[in-house]
Amino acid sequence: MGEQPSSADTPLWAVVELEQFTTPEQTQASQWRRSLRSASTWLMGKNSAEQQVKEENELRALPEVKLAHLVPPIDWAPAAKALAQQLNDQKAPVAFFITPPHSGHVAVVSQWAEAHRFACLPSPTLSELAEGDTQWIERCASQREWAVPALERYFLRHTQGIQGVREFLERALSGRLGQGVIGCDSWAYAYLQEVIGIDGAPVFTLQSMEGEQLSRYFADIATHTGAPPQVYSTRTGNQVLAKTEGSAANKKAPPKGENKELQRLAAHCRGHIGIAWHYWRERLREPLSDDEKALWLADALAEAELPPDTGDVATLVLHALLIHGGLDDHSLGQLLPFSHHEALNARLALQRKGIVTSCEGRWQIAPLSYASVRQLLESRNYLVDPL
Amino acid sequence: MEEQQKYARLFNDIDSQALITLGVVLLSTVVLIIVSQRGLSWLGNRLHGQVRFRIFALVPLTRLLILITALAIIVPIIIEPSLRNMVTLLGALGLAIGFAMKDYVSSLIAGVVSAIELPYRPGDWVNIEGTYGEVKHVGLRTVDIQTPDDDLVAVPHLKLWDHAIYNANNGGTSLQCVASFYLHPEHEAGWVRKALRDVALTSAYLKFDKPIIVVAEEKPWGTHYRIRAYPVDPRQQFLFITDLTVRGKTVLNAAGVQSAMLPPDAALDARNAADASY
Complete DSSP assignment for A11-54: -S--EEEGGG--BPTTHHHHHHHHHHHHHHHHHHSSPPPPP-SS
State mean pLDDT over A197-224. 87
Whether the per-residue pLDDT at A48 is higher than 90: the answer is no
Q: Comparing C-alpha atoms, which of A187, A220, A227 is closest to residue A98?
A: A187
Is residue B91 exposed (0-12), middle (13-18) or buried (19+ Cβ within 10 Å)?
exposed
| Same domain as A373, residue A327 | yes
φ, ψ (nearest 5 deg) of residue A230: -85, 120
Residues of B within 8 A of A316 (CB-CB) are 204-205
Which range among A101-115, A169-183, B196-210, B263-277 shows the weakest confidence by mean pLDDT?
B263-277
* Same domain? A110 vs A166: yes
A316/B contact by beta carbon, under 8 A: yes
Q: Is residue A365 part of a domain?
A: yes
- Contacts A381 to B, Cβ<8 Å: 49, 173, 207, 209, 232-233
Q: Are residues A221 and A134 both part of a single domain?
A: no
Percent of chain A whose predicted confidence (pLDDT) is above 90: 44
Average pLDDT over residues B126-151: 91
**Mean pLDDT of the residues in chain A:** 84
Query: Mean pLDDT for chain B?
Result: 85
Among B36-40, B45-49, B130-134, the range scoring the smallest mean pLDDT is B45-49
Tell whether A115 and A151 lie within a shared domain: yes
Whether residue A183 sits in one domain with residue A102: yes
Mean pLDDT score, A180-199: 93
Q: Which residues pair with B206 in a beta bridge?
A: B231
Q: For position A329, which CATH number holds?
A: 1.10.10.10
- The most confident of the ranges A230-239, B67-76, B86-95, B166-175 is B166-175
Mean per-residue pLDDT for A8-36?
Answer: 81
Which chain B residue is nearest to residue A158, measuring alpha carbons? B202
**pLDDT above 60 for A50:** no
Mean pLDDT of B239-256: 95
What is the C-alpha to C-alpha distance for residues A271 and B148, in angstroms, rounded to an integer? 45
- Contact between A308 and B203 using a beta-carbon 8 Å cutoff: no
pLDDT at site A243: 62
- Of A172, A201, A230, the residue at which a domain comes to its end is A201
pTM above 0.80, yes or no: yes
Identify whether residues A319 and A253 lie together within a single domain: no
Tell whether A152 and A188 lie within a shared domain: yes
DSSP conformation letters of B93-113: HHHHHHHH-HHHHHHHHHHHH
Q: Give residue-wise pLDDT tens across range B185-236.
A: 889 999 999 999 999 999 999 999 999 999 999 988 899 999 999 999 999 9
Identify whether A338 is part of a domain: yes
Q: What is the pLDDT of residues A272-327, one digit of tens each?
A: 999 999 998 888 888 877 666 778 888 756 556 677 778 889 999 999 999 999 99
Taking the C-alpha atoms of residue B111 and residue A87, their distance in angstroms, rounded to an integer, is 64
CB contact under 8 A, B202 and A316: no
From the CA of A317, how many Å to the nearest CA of chain B?
9
Residue at which a domain ends, from A201, A230, A245: A201
Q: How far does A61 lie from chain B, in Å, by closest CA?
A: 37
Q: Does residue A353 belong to any structural domain of this protein?
A: yes
Q: A337–B195: do the CB atoms touch at under 8 Å?
A: no
Of the candidates A249, A274, A297, which is a domain's last residue? A297
Give the range among A127-141, B168-182, B239-253 with minimum mean pLDDT.
A127-141
- C-alpha A384/C-alpha A378 separation (Å) is 6
**DSSP 3-state assignment of B259?**
strand
Mean of pLDDT values over B90-110: 78
Evaluate if residue A118 carries a pLDDT over 70.
yes
Lowest mean pLDDT among A15-29, A194-208, B165-179, B225-239: A15-29
Condensed to tens digits (0 to 9), the pLDDT of residues A264-274 reads 889 889 999 99
Question: Is the separation of the CB atoms in A181 and A113 below 8 Å?
Answer: yes
Long-range interactions of B87-96: CB distance < 8 A, separation 24+: B88/B10, B89/B10
Same domain, A97 and A174: yes
> Rounded to the nearest 10 degrees, what angle do helices A260-268 and A273-283 cross at?
120
Q: Give me the mean pLDDT over the A104-115 stretch.
A: 94
Which residue would you say has higher pLDDT here, A291 or A252?
Answer: A291
ipTM: 0.84
Q: Are residues B76 and B21 in contact, defined by beta-carbon separation less than 8 angstroms? A: no
Say yes or no to pLDDT of A200 above 80.
Answer: yes
- Burial call B132-168: b when 16+ CB within 10 Å, e when fewer: bbbbbbbbebbbbbeeeeeeebebbbbbbeeeebebb
Where in the sequence is the domain holding A372, given as residue range(s)? Answer: 312-379
Assess whether pLDDT exceeds 50 at residue A1: no
Please list every residue in chain B whose beta carbon sits closer than 8 Å to the beta carbon of residue A158. Answer: 202, 247
Total structural domains within chain A: 3
Q: Which of A250, A368, A377, A254 is nearest to A317 (CA)?
A: A377
> Is residue B206 a contact partner of residue B232, using CB atoms and an 8 Å limit?
yes
A233 to A53, A275, B244: CA distances (angstroms): 8, 19, 51
The verdict on residue A348 lying in a domain is yes
The answer to which of B46-50, B86-90, B183-187 has the lowest mean pLDDT is B46-50
**pLDDT over threshold 50, residue A248:** no
Q: Which of A101, A104, A47 has the alpha carbon at shortest distance from A77?
A: A104
Secondary structure of residue B214 in the 3-state scheme: strand
- Which helix (H) or strand (E) covers residue A357, if one does? strand A356-359
Q: Which of A352-356, B5-9, B169-173, B246-250 has the highest mean pLDDT?
A: B246-250
* CB nearest to B46's CB, from A308, A316, A319: A308
Residues A139 and A47 in one domain: no
Work out the minimum CA distance from B104 to partner chain A, whole angstroms: 39
Same domain for A230 and A192, yes or no, is: no
State the pLDDT confidence band at A226, using cuts at 50, 70 and 90.
low
Helix (H, G, I), strand (E, B) or coil at B3: helix
A 10 A CB-CB count for A172 gives 23
Helices (H), A89-134: 105-115, 126-131
Beta strands in chain B (DSSP E): 125-128, 131-138, 142-146, 152-156, 165-167, 177-183, 213-219, 222-229
- For A381, nearest residue in chain B (alpha carbons): B232
User: CB distance from A192 to chain B under 8 Å?
Assistant: no
A352 lies in some domain: yes
Q: Residue A223: what pLDDT?
A: 67
Instruction: For residues A127 and A185, state if they share a domain.
Output: yes
Bridge partners of B166? B127
**Residue A85 resides in a domain:** no
Residue A57: C-alpha distances to residues A61, A288, B197, B264 (Å): 11, 9, 56, 75
Specify if A267 maps to a domain: yes
Q: Tell me what pLDDT residue A81 has.
A: 94
Specify if A176 maps to a domain.
yes
* Count of A-B CB contacts under 8 Å: 52
Question: Which chain B residues touch A194 with a CB distance below 8 Å?
Answer: 201, 208
* Contact predicate B99/B93, CB 8 Å: no
Q: Which of A329, A325, A310 is closest to A372 using CA atoms?
A: A310
pLDDT of residue B269: 64
Q: A231-233 and A119-120: which strand pairing? A: unpaired
Residues A54 and A102 in one domain: no
Q: Which of A67-71, A109-113, B93-97 has the lowest mean pLDDT?
A: B93-97
CATH number, domain containing residue A124: 3.40.50
B53 vs A226, residue with greater confidence? B53
Displacement of CA B88 from its chain's centroid (Å) = 37
**Residue A46 scores a pLDDT above 60:** no
Ranked by mean pLDDT, the top range of A13-22, A134-143, B117-126 is A13-22
Q: How many CB atoms lie within 10 A of CB A259?
A: 27
In terms of pLDDT, which residue wins out, B118 or A110? Answer: A110
